[in-house]
Amino acid sequence: MEMKSFEIFPKDPKKTYGLMELVEGKSPIVDKEPEDTVFTWPHLFSIEFLAVLITVAVLLFLSMYVEAPLEQVASTATTPNPMKAPWYFLGLQELLVYFDPWIAGVVLPVIILIGLMLIPFLDVNPKGAGYYTFSERKFAVSVYAFGMGLWLTLLIVGVWFRGLDWNWYWYWEKSYVHKPLLSGLRDIPVIITGVLGVSEFAGKAIADLIMLAYFAGGFIIPVFIFRNFYKRLGLLRYLITMGLFLLMVGVPIKIGLRLVFSIKYIMVTPWFKI
């Protein structure tokens, strides 16, 4: 019986490629034949170029017909109240309400930049290479969306809800009327000292233990609940990932403690306050 040979992938005279060898393996491109692909030029490039033209046209229209929200000419004799940074820095300025200046202005931004740079080295998920879906990357998408949402929330608060003396003003309140400065803010060590009747040193020690328990629990508990997650990352990647995650989650917790319970600082040391 004569065996007839046939081509697995028929050649296309318009393309310059050749099938040299078939290799067993799994990847997003294995089940995709060469004839199912399209060239970047002009198919993808034309769509991207059209998007650029539309974006530029919208920006030109806005620049010509919509006035920029500029304030009065700056005066050396008068300091604006409130003195607001450009909108893209208002998130950092809002953090100054809840943290020491050097933590809000230096430490947290540096941690954010380092965390973003480490993402390619910390992400070991082999799925979704070249495309990103929530079903493939639940943890990564959720954490990134949470961080972006938190940052946008700080920007929104700084732009529309902060008025004279950086007090909170709702939309329906008169932003030109001064509000009394907030009073009654207390540190957790002071609260512990008053409630439990212990010494100031013991109050600070208990507050430090609370902070230590937060990080210890955040590092240890997921190891037992999400064992596969821990095994995939390994010890070093896991410690870095969870450390960054706990710091990010700690920011809204600290904000909530101040806004809801009038708590200024959780940990008080001679060098920094959190």
pLDDT tens digits, one per residue of 61-72? 988 888 877 777
Q: Is residue 176 part of a domain?
A: yes
Q: Is residue 2 part of a domain?
A: no
Q: Is residue 117 part of a domain?
A: yes
The 10s digit of each residue's pLDDT in 116-143 is 899 888 888 777 666 667 887 888 888 8
Say what the pLDDT of residue 269 is.
83
* Residue 134, CB-side half-sphere exposure with 13 Å CA sphere: 4
Contacts of 80 (CB under 8 A, 6+ apart): 71
Length of the chain: 274
How far apart, in whole angstroms, are the C-alpha atoms of residue 246 and residue 215?
7
How far apart, in whole angstroms, are the C-alpha atoms of residue 247 and residue 144?
14
Q: Is the pLDDT of residue 20 over 70?
A: no
Contacts of 4 (CB under 8 A, 6+ apart): none
Q: What is the pTM of this model?
A: 0.70
Q: Is the pLDDT of residue 3 over 80?
A: no
Summarize the confidence of residues 82-90 as an average pLDDT: 87
Q: Is residue 212 part of a domain?
A: yes
Q: Is residue 80 part of a domain?
A: no
Cis peptide before 10 (omega within 30 of 0): no
Identity of the residue numbered 213: A
Say what the pLDDT of residue 43 is.
80
Q: Is residue 6 part of a domain?
A: no
Q: Is the pLDDT of residue 184 over 90?
A: no
Whether residue 140 contacts residue 128, with contact meaning beta carbons closer than 8 Å, is answered with no
Say what the pLDDT of residue 131 is.
65
Say what the pLDDT of residue 252 is.
93
Say what the pLDDT of residue 17 is.
60
How far apart, in whole angstroms, are the C-alpha atoms of residue 188 and residue 127?
44
Compare 206 and 74 and report the one with higher pLDDT: 206
Proportion of the chain above pLDDT 70, given as a percent: 84
Q: Is residue 58 part of a domain?
A: no
Q: Is the pLDDT of residue 45 over 90?
A: no
Proportion of the chain above pLDDT 90, given as a percent: 30
Q: How many CB atoms lie within 10 A of CB 14?
A: 5
Q: How many CB atoms lie within 10 A of CB 244?
A: 20
Say what the pLDDT of residue 138 is.
83
Q: Is residue 79 part of a domain?
A: no
Q: By residue range, what is the domain housing residue 130? A: 87-261
- Give the residue among 184, 187, 197, 164 at the shortest CA–CA distance from 79: 164
Query: What are φ and ψ of residue 51, in 5° steps?
Result: -65, -40
Say what the pLDDT of residue 243 is.
94
Average pLDDT in the chain = 83
How far apart, in whole angstroms, are the C-alpha atoms of residue 212 and residue 188?
14
3-state helix, strand, coil in the chain (%, to 5): 55, 0, 40
Domain count, the chain: 1
The 10s digit of each residue's pLDDT in 157-171 is 998 898 888 888 888
Summarize the confidence of residues 108-120 as an average pLDDT: 90
The 10s digit of each residue's pLDDT in 212-260 is 999 999 999 999 998 988 998 889 999 999 999 999 999 999 999 998 8
Q: Which residues pair with 273 in a beta bridge?
A: 268
Compare 191 and 137 and report the one with higher pLDDT: 191
Q: Is 13 helix (H, G, I), strand (E, B) or coil?
A: coil
Cis peptide before 42 (omega within 30 of 0): yes
